[in-house]
């Protein structure tokens, strides 16, 4: 059986990620051991600052390249340059060890972050926000496997190879990355219309300007900068302590290789056991916020018990979290961002702000060494805790920023007209010309009733004048219309009962609907009794629900809530739409959250008992759907329409309208954005009840042969006209 292109694409991306991370793990171990063997630990902060400053310039260059050519073309080019550089540094090491060490350190500083940024840019441009969660989790799993392989390789190589010869091994790994990047270039296609075409620089997509109007990108940049500063402080702490206790050369390389191997193994276990599950449950912002929270606790513990073991634990846990849950969540934050803005900003954030944080961290170490050399360890730990605490407020903002970005993506890419106030609250039910608006019904005072007075007392005193409505059924049209038009709240019960009966009359139902709507507030109890009566005519019950929408009272809400749990889908559907109209016109009315959830669970139970969609014939009074434009409302979607209407009683209706429309688009990315948006804004209990109805929309529906043929004919005709 042939594998799908998606499966193959994820497999190739996982292989490339594994090879890339393997090279990064080997490179970090060799870099630290080589530098500390050739130079002193006191020289490390200065080298970190130089490398970071050079990286800032590369961030601008890579950002412009990504804007102009896209990651599918830039990633293979970067891998090729890196491969050649590794070979050149290896050759340089035969004559100038110090120059080789400096060149290798700067190479890792310049191209290491650029390669990671370009790789993940290619991944998150290919997948929509919803499907990206699953794909990124699997690709990150491949990356952790590569970390284990790289750690094992450098650990074993430490006993048999010189540090200098490991550069040639890294060139081979980078060559494997190049092959993987070329395969990704062929397999991964952009999901947006622009695909691989160049993105023109616009006012919103030029360098730092891309961050100006994007709170999500600004806060991500701040989180990255502070996180990078914290990582550089941890790197110094671990490197300085290890070199002081272990000396130089092979013992130091063995220590770093074993450390990064342990980090890689734990990362792999965490990614494969918790990765996708924790990402889905906690959400993106909490996975980002877990890292500074962990560092606060670890930093305080290390202040109390400073030792190499403590520094190994805190640096190791930081690296594990950053390589797994943090990395996956961080990359997913970019999926709803517009292409031009993302290409302009991502490299600047991944490289520029990362290197800026490294400069800050190295500068703090240099300052601490100059001020108080004896207590530099304590000062570094205090700085780690302080920076981690400063990060937490920004991580809390990311969730709201992400939701806003998803909303922007739905508005920008759905190719739908702008929402109006009337459209977002749902169209009004059709009414007879004589029917009063809900506001008028609610505001009109009822005739005064006191003891011994009213319709019943009048009927007892004057039985001959009782109007029971029987004559309306067989009378000429003008007589029935006049009688219904004269129906008031003081009419006796028999007349109301006959008016309700006329809701199913082929010719009189519109007049009956208008007459009952005028007095619905006074007869809400009688209407609710008919609504919940399983022996009553189904069409009458459906139309009674629409009459209750005109009550403007809490009694009307309570009656409709009883109907939402009915056994018949037609009744549940009519009641949910009537409830939506009622609460939209009368916001003071309340719908209990638990009742809404119970209605969703009722629908879920019906779906489990009857997987096939119910046979549904729209009523003339229900022709206009609540949550979707008529052209996007196939008959098979009435159940989903009902579910969204029920959810809209608790969640903002405009948000749901955007998501519902996007779910019915042909574009996979739009549907994925809508699904991710719903998964983010819905409370967990609501999400669990709704997801069986929408989860299958993540994959594109099968296209018929006729549709494919029509697309081919259209494409051919367009091409012939251009020629």
For residue 198, being part of any structural domain is answered with no
Pair 134, 259 in one domain: yes
Pair 288, 221 in one domain: yes
**Which element (helix H / strand E) includes 377?**
helix 376-413
For residue 671, being part of any structural domain is answered with no
**Which element (helix H / strand E) includes 109?**
helix 97-126
When pLDDT is cut at 50, 70 and 90, the band that residue 523 belongs to is confident
Examine the pLDDT at 413 and tell me if it is beyond 60.
no
Mean pLDDT, to the nearest integer, of 568-588? 88
Q: Identify which of 3-12, 57-66, 488-497 has the greatest average pLDDT.
A: 57-66
DSSP-derived secondary structure letter, 415? -
Mean pLDDT, to the nearest integer, of 232-259? 80
Give pLDDT, residue 194.
Answer: 40
Examine the pLDDT at 206 and tell me if it is beyond 50.
yes
For residue 723, being part of any structural domain is answered with no
Distance CA 91, CA 474 (A): 105
CB 650 within 8 A of CB 607: no
Mean pLDDT, to the nearest integer, of 125-153? 80
Pair 392, 467 in one domain: no
Q: Would you call 262 exposed, middle or buried from its count of C-beta atoms within 10 A (0-12, 13-18, 19+)? A: middle
Distance CA 698, CA 269 (A): 28
Pair 392, 509 in one domain: no
**Which element (helix H / strand E) includes 118?**
helix 97-126
Each residue of 589-610: pLDDT tens digit?
888 888 888 888 888 888 888 7
Examine the pLDDT at 69 and tell me if it is beyond 80.
yes
Q: Euclidean distance between the first and final Cα of the chain, in Å?
A: 40
Distance CA 714, CA 720 (A): 10
Which of these ranges, 376-380, 394-398, 489-493, 497-501, has the smallest mean pLDDT? 489-493
Q: What is the DSSP string of 267-317?
A: HHHHIIIIIHHHHHHH-HHHHHHHHHHHHHHHHHHHHHS-SHHHHHHHHHH
When pLDDT is cut at 50, 70 and 90, the band that residue 392 belongs to is very high
Pair 315, 261 in one domain: yes
Pair 9, 93 in one domain: yes
Give pLDDT, residue 125.
Answer: 78
Mean pLDDT, to the nearest integer, of 539-564? 90
Give pLDDT, residue 341.
Answer: 80
Which percentage of the chain shows pLDDT scores above 70?
Answer: 76
Nearest to 184 by CA among 194, 196, 193, 192: 196
Strands (E), 199-317: none
Nearest to 71 by CA among 23, 124, 20, 22: 124
Mean pLDDT, to the nearest integer, of 221-243? 90
- CA distance readout (Å), 79 to 72, 91, 140, 352, 571: 12, 19, 19, 19, 62
Nearest to 41 by CA among 381, 386, 362, 385: 362
Pair 443, 406 in one domain: no
The whole-angstrom distance between residue 115's C-alpha and the CA centroid of its chain comes to 25
Examine the pLDDT at 222 and tell me if it is beyond 90.
yes
CB 263 within 8 A of CB 323: yes
Nearest to 226 by CA among 395, 419, 24: 395
CATH for 100: 1.20.1250.20
CA angle at residue 55 from 53 to 60, to 5 degrees? 110
Mean pLDDT, to the nearest integer, of 79-101? 89
When pLDDT is cut at 50, 70 and 90, the band that residue 207 belongs to is low
For residue 713, being part of any structural domain is answered with no
When pLDDT is cut at 50, 70 and 90, the band that residue 390 belongs to is very high
Rg (CA), the chain: 34
Pair 558, 470 in one domain: yes
Residues 6+ apart with CB under 8 A from 516: 487, 496, 499, 500, 503, 523, 527, 547
Distance CA 88, CA 204 (A): 39
What are the φ and ψ backbone dihedral angles of 662, each rounded to 5 degrees? Answer: -65, -30
CATH for 591: 1.25.10
Pair 345, 484 in one domain: no
Bigger pLDDT: 482 vs 351: 351
Give pLDDT, residue 498.
Answer: 73
CB 550 within 8 A of CB 517: yes
Examine the pLDDT at 406 and tell me if it is beyond 90.
no
Give pLDDT, residue 483.
Answer: 63
- CA distance readout (Å), 510 to 299, 403, 469: 73, 43, 16
- CA distance readout (Å), 708 to 220, 715, 720, 722: 42, 11, 18, 21
Q: Would you call 292 exposed, middle or buried from its count of C-beta atoms within 10 A (0-12, 13-18, 19+)? A: buried
Pair 475, 385 in one domain: no
687 token code pair: 């999400």
Provide the domain count of the chain: 2
Which of these ranges, 20-24, 236-240, 491-495, has the smallest mean pLDDT? 491-495
When pLDDT is cut at 50, 70 and 90, the band that residue 384 belongs to is very high
200: three-class secondary structure by DSSP? coil
The boundaries of the domain holding residue 649 are: 438-666+682-693
Nearest to 628 by CA among 438, 414, 430: 414
For residue 421, being part of any structural domain is answered with no
Q: Would you call 433 exposed, middle or buried from its count of C-beta atoms within 10 A (0-12, 13-18, 19+)? A: exposed
User: Which alpha helices (H) appear in 161-214, and where do they start and end?
Assistant: 166-187, 209-212
- CA distance readout (Å), 466 to 304, 522, 590: 91, 19, 37
Taking all residues of the chain, what is their mean pLDDT, rounded to a whole number?
A: 76
- CA distance readout (Å), 626 to 466, 578, 622, 632, 648: 40, 10, 9, 12, 10
Nearest to 501 by CA among 518, 521, 516: 516
Pair 523, 602 in one domain: yes
Which percentage of the chain shows pLDDT scores above 90?
Answer: 9
- Choose one of 379, 413, 447: the last residue of a domain: 413
Strands (E), 199-324: none
For residue 718, being part of any structural domain is answered with no
The whole-angstrom distance between residue 372's C-alpha and the CA centroid of its chain comes to 47
277 token code pair: 């599950």
Pair 399, 480 in one domain: no
Q: What is the pTM of this model?
A: 0.65
Rama region for 372: left / alpha / beta (φ>0; ψ in -120 to 50; rest): beta
């Amino acid at each position: 059986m042939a594998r799908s292109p998606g499966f193959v694409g994820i497999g190739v991306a996982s292989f490339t990620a594994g090879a890339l991370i393997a090279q990064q793990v080997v490179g970090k171990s060799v870099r630290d051991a080589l530098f500390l063997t050739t130079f002193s630990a006191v020289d490390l902060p200065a080298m970190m600052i130089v490398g970071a400053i050079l990286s800032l310039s590369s961030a601008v260059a890579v950002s412009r390249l990504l804007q102009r050519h896209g990651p599918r073309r830039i990633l293979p080019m970067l891998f090729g340059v890196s491969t050649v550089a590794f070979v050149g540094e290896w050759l340089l090491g035969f004559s100038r060890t110090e120059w080789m060490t400096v060149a290798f350190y700067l190479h890792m500083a310049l191209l290491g972050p650029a390669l990671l940024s370009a790789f993940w840019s290619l991944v998150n441009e290919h997948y929509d926000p919803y499907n990206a969660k699953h794909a990124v989790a699997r690709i990150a799993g491949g990356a952790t496997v590569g970390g284990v392989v790289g750690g094992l390789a450098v650990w074993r190589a430490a006993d048999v190879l010189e540090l200098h010869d490991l550069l040639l091994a890294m060139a081979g790994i980078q060559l494997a990355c190049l092959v993987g990047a070329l395969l990704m270039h062929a397999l991964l296609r952009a999901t947006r219309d622009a695909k691989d075409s160049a993105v023109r620089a616009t006012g919103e997509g030029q360098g730092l300007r891309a961050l100006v109007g994007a709170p999500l990108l600004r806060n991500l940049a701040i989180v990255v900068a502070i996180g990078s500063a914290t990582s550089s402080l941890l790197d110094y702490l671990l490197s300085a302590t290890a070199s002081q206790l272990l000396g130089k050369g092979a013992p130091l390389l063995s220590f770093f290789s074993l450390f990064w191997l342990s980090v890689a193994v734990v990362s792999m276990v965490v990614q494969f056991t918790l990765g996708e599950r924790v990402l889905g449950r906690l959400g993106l912002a909490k996975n980002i916020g877990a890292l500074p929270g962990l560092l606060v606790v670890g930093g305080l513990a290390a202040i109390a018990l400073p030792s190499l073991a403590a520094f190994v634990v805190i640096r190791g846990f930081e690296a594990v979290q950053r390589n797994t849950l943090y990395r996956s969540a961080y990359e997913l934050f970019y999926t709803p961002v517009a292409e031009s803005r993302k290409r302009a900003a991502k490299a600047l954030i991944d490289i520029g702000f990362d290197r800026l944080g490294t400069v800050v961290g190295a500068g703090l170490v240099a300052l601490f060494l100059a001020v108080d050399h004896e207590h530099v360890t304590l000062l570094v730990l205090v700085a780690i805790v302080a920076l981690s605490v400063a990060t937490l407020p920004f991580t809390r903002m990311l969730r709201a920023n992400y939701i806003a970005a998803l909303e922007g993506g739905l508005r920008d890419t759905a190719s739908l007209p702008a929402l109006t106030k009337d459209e977002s609250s749902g169209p009004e039910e059709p009414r007879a010309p004589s029917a009063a608006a809900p506001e008028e019904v609610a505001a009109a005072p009822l005739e005064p009733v006191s003891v011994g007075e009213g319709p019943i007392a009048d009927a007892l005193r004057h039985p001959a004048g009782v109007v029971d409505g029987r004559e309306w059924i067989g009378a000429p049209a003008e007589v029935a219309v006049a009688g219904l038009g004269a129906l008031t709240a003081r009419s006796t019960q028999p007349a109301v009962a006959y008016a309700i009966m006329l809701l199913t009359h082929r010719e009189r139902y519109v007049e009956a609907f208008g007459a009952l709507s005028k007095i619905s507030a006074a007869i809400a109890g009688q209407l609710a009794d008919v609504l919940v009566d399983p022996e009553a005519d189904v069409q009458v019950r459906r139309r009674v629900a629409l009459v209750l929408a005109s009550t403007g009272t809490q009694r009307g809400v309570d009656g409709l809530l009883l109907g939402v749990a009915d056994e018949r889908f037609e009744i549940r559907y009519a009641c949910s739409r009537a409830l939506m109209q009622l609460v939209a016109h009368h916001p003071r009315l309340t719908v209990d959250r638990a009742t809404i959830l119970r209605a969703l669970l009722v629908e879920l139970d019906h779906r489990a008992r009857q997987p096939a969609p119910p046979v549904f014939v729209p009523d003339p009074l229900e022709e206009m759907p609540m949550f979707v434009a008529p052209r996007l409302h196939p008959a098979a979607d009435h159940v989903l329409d009902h579910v969204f209407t029920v959810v809209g009683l608790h969640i903002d209706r405009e948000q749901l309208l955007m998501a519902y429309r996007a779910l019915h688009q042909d574009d996979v990315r739009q549907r994925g954005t809508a699904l991710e948006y719903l998964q983010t804004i819905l409370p967990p209990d609501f999400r669990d009840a709704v997801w069986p109805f929408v989860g299958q929309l993540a994959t594109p529906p099968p296209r018929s042969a006729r549709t494919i043929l029509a697309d081919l004919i259209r494409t051919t005709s367009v091409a012939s006209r251009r020629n």
